[in-house]
Amino acid sequence: MSSTVREPEQRTRTGEDGMQNWPAPDPKDWQPPAEPEWQPPSWEQVVRDHSARVYRLAYRLTGNPHDAEDLTQDVFVRVFRSLHRFQPGTFEGWLHRITTNLFLDAARRKQKIRFDGMPDGSAERLQSSLPSPSEQLADADMEHDVAAALAALPPEFRAAVVLCDIEGMSYEEIASVLDVKIGTVRSRIHRGRAQLREALAHRRPTADRERYLGVPVEGDEVAVTEPAEPRRRGLRSLLGARTA
């Protein structure tokens, strides 16, 4: 006589209200709702939202409006060609990396990037999104000799100092942007600041100035101890108190 093996039935109980009490679901069976697929912003949206920021960084790196405009355009050409490959992450950091690398490439090779392969009218839209001459003049809040001192720095030193003391980036972020070790970042910042102080020795602090290139004055000397970690200084803080 054969016997049929039955699968065990899931037992339920009927409560006093006549409703069946089903077993609680296993938490391991729960699945979070699927997140919508990430879509990169359009090129026009990137230009609209980030052109002013990119131009400011380009100006601080190049030291003059003409080269800053050229570098800004080069950046958005690269963005146009690479946007489809961008992975979700820090978009501002990606733009910092592109801007700084293109500046260093141009400083080494002095070559220009042409607007080939761009949609009709793209260059005009980019030009119209750049700051006006009055905005450029207001943003250029560096005295002539200080701007010249920054421009005289080796490109690698200038990029590290600008990213640290003006953009307020951490050593780790700068190392990622420049694709170098943190020790190299520290060395470039230290040596760049030292060269700036030497180039601006004629602006040594006097009794009416408490800071010199963002560094406290101790008596008649300037304290040159480097901070353990960079902090956002801004243009005025990098230059110290206004030097009349």
Residues 135 and 63 both lie in one domain = yes
How many CA atoms does the CB half-sphere of 54 hold within 13 Å? 34
Residue 1 lies in a domain: no
227: pLDDT strictly greater than 60: no
Q: Residue 224's closest CA among 197, 186, 188, 201?
A: 197
Residues 123 and 149 both lie in one domain = no
Which helix (H) or strand (E) segment is 215 a member of?
strand 215-218
How many CA atoms does the CB half-sphere of 197 hold within 13 Å? 20
Domain that holds residue 97: 40-140
Domain boundary among 111, 140, 169: 140
DSSP-assigned letter for residue 239 = H
Residues 147 and 243 both lie in one domain = yes
Q: Are 170 and 181 in contact (CB under 8 A)?
A: no
pLDDT exceeding 70 applies to what percent of the chain? 50
Residue 175 lies in a domain: yes
Residue 117 lies in a domain: yes
pLDDT for 168: 87
Residues 235 and 151 both lie in one domain = yes
Residues 107 and 149 both lie in one domain = no
Residues 133 and 153 both lie in one domain = no
- Mean residue pLDDT across the chain: 70
pLDDT for 200: 78
pLDDT exceeding 90 applies to what percent of the chain? 21
Residues 154 and 238 both lie in one domain = yes
Q: Provide the CATH number for the domain around residue 217.
A: 1.10.10.10
* Segment among 96-100, 183-187, 225-229 with least mean pLDDT: 225-229
For 214-233, what is the mean pLDDT? 45
Q: Are 235 and 242 in contact (CB under 8 A)?
A: no
Q: Are 100 and 108 in contact (CB under 8 A)?
A: no
Residues 147 and 235 both lie in one domain = yes
Q: What is the pLDDT of residues 116-175, one digit of tens each?
A: 445 555 555 555 555 555 555 444 444 577 778 888 889 999 999 989 988 888 999 999
pLDDT for 189: 94
- Exposed e or buried b for every residue in 33-44, given b needs 16+ CB within 10 A? eeeeeeeeeebe
Residues 129 and 152 both lie in one domain = no
Residue 26 lies in a domain: no
Q: What is the pLDDT of residues 169-222, one digit of tens each?
A: 899 999 989 999 999 999 999 999 999 888 877 666 554 544 444 444 444 444
Q: Provide the CATH number for the domain around residue 73.
A: 1.10.1740.10
Domain boundary among 113, 140, 167: 140
223: pLDDT strictly greater than 70: no
Residue 16 lies in a domain: no
34: pLDDT strictly greater than 70: no
CA dist., res. 197 & res. 200, Å (int): 5
Structure tokens at 199: 């180039």
Q: Are 185 and 167 in contact (CB under 8 A)?
A: no
CA dist., res. 139 & res. 65, Å (int): 10
Residue 35 lies in a domain: no
Q: What is the pLDDT of residues 49-63, one digit of tens each?
A: 888 999 999 988 988
What DSSP letter does each residue of 39-77 carry, written as one string?
-PPPHHHHHHHHHHHHHHHHHHHHSSHHHHHHHHHHHHH
Residue 219 lies in a domain: yes
Number of domains in the chain: 2
pLDDT for 89: 67
Domain boundary among 140, 169, 185: 140
Residue 22 lies in a domain: no
Confidence of residue 79 (pLDDT cuts 50, 70, 90): confident
